[in-house]
Amino acid sequence: MTVSHVLALLASYFIGAIPNSYLAGKLFKGIDLREHGSGNLGATNVWRTLGPKFAIPVGILDSAKGAIPVLFIAPLAAEAKLFALACGIMAVLGHVFSVFVGFKGGKGVATAAGVMLGLTPLAVVVTTAVWLVILWTTGYSSLGSIVAAAILPLAAWLLHPADRDLVWVQALVALAIIWFHRSNIRRLLAGTESRFGKRHRQAPVE
């Protein structure tokens, strides 16, 4: 591994580590999102705590943190897609374990989607559609993220046959995302996971 490889990997981590959710909370509302809602520094908690006008830009920026290393940083050091994926993984790790906020970040879904958008865009379209359908029908963003992550390797295998040598790494990324959602899985099984939207709120007890 050359110096340029190391610098690209480090740059990818620090791009991923930019805490967009934390900055949105501090700059616009003067709050630390780690102390509100789920305590997670991801777009979902921004939506619940600050609303969609902040969550949507944060989600886009978090996705960009994954796409930029793949599309612009990695090619400066190597042309191999496997190295681009490595840079993308570093960005996801930066998001989840951000050095700027005590190594407590988000769960990496939007950033991982940005990585895969740069590598396997058709697969991302499919998994995003799955996430939206599950969110709309159940109100569970976490469930949508878990299912989308689970089907990502299969979607990439089917829709991007030229890049099938990367599927095993994508499968590891998917497993990692599911692992980061283990607390959500416990709440889903217990029936205590938070839902989105009025249609999913329980009626008040009379």
- Using an 8 Å Cβ cutoff, are 47 and 131 in contact? no
pLDDT of res. 118: 92
| For residues 69-80, average pLDDT | 93
The pTM score is 0.85
| For residues 37-53, average pLDDT | 87
Please report which confidence band the pLDDT of residue 197 belongs to, taking 50, 70 and 90 as the band edges: low
CA distance 150 to 81: 22
Give yes or no for residue 84 having a pLDDT over 90: yes
| For residues 35-54, average pLDDT | 88
37 φ/ψ sector (left φ>0, alpha ψ -120 to 50, else beta):
left
- Report the percentage of the chain scoring pLDDT > 90: 69
Q: For residue 98, what are the CA distances in angstroms to 33, 49, 50, 88, 155?
A: 14, 20, 21, 15, 29
| For residues 19-44, average pLDDT | 90
| For residues 42-53, average pLDDT | 89
CA distance 72 to 95: 18
Domain ranges of the chain: 3-196
73 against 199, higher pLDDT:
73
